[in-house]
Amino acid sequence: MLTYEPLEHYLGKQSADEVPMTFTELERIIGAKLPPSAHKEGNAWWSNNRNGHSQAVAWLNAGFEAGNVDRKAKKLVFRRVRQTTAPPAGGMAEEGRVFQRAEHNQPGRHPAIGALKGTFTVEPGWDLTRPALDPEELEEWEASLDRKADLIEQVMTGKKR
């Protein structure tokens, strides 16, 4: 039996959406002490990442995520995750949008138009027509680019100027 399999079975039997637990209770369930890394701050041991974390696989398979981990008080809360579909195999958090032509779309309009709507905002007063670099910055950048091109040419031809 795997170390964290009893935890998966325990959480799988729970009907509550939140299961608060102390580290001692968790150790009693798995029948072993938690590793030192579970007690260290800034450690990914309690992350809800399946890759390389057998403990996370156990609670994620049971439909829970670890949260509110208080290492000093030695307690945490497992929260039920509502998932309607299995996570994509590609490792993305959610599936990409499927673009289908809706009836309200204008005829001849590409379905991807508006796909990024709401994904970023422009601060009020920001001038979208303003060049990215001021004339002085652009001149300095071009001079730097020319110097680099000259150095590359010298190295390629073996000549020094």
In tens, the pLDDT along 92-138 reads 444 455 545 455 555 667 777 777 777 878 888 888 888 888 889 99
| d(C-alpha 106, C-alpha 5), whole Å | 54
Place of tokens 């935890």: 7
Strands (E), the chain: 18-22, 64-70, 75-80
Q: What is the pLDDT of residues 45-79, one digit of tens each?
A: 888 888 878 899 999 999 999 998 989 999 999 99
Name the residue ranges covered by the structural domains of the chain. Answer: 5-80, 130-161
| d(C-alpha 18, C-alpha 67), whole Å | 10
Reported pTM:
0.51
Q: Are 22 and 33 in contact (CB under 8 A)?
A: no
Chain centroid to Cα 80, Å, comes to: 19
Burial 10-21 (b: 16+ CB within 10 A, else e): bbeeeeeeebeb
| pLDDT category of residue 19 using cuts at 50, 70 and 90 | very high
pLDDT of 83 reads 62
Query: Which of the pair, 80 or 134, is modelled with greater confidence?
Result: 80
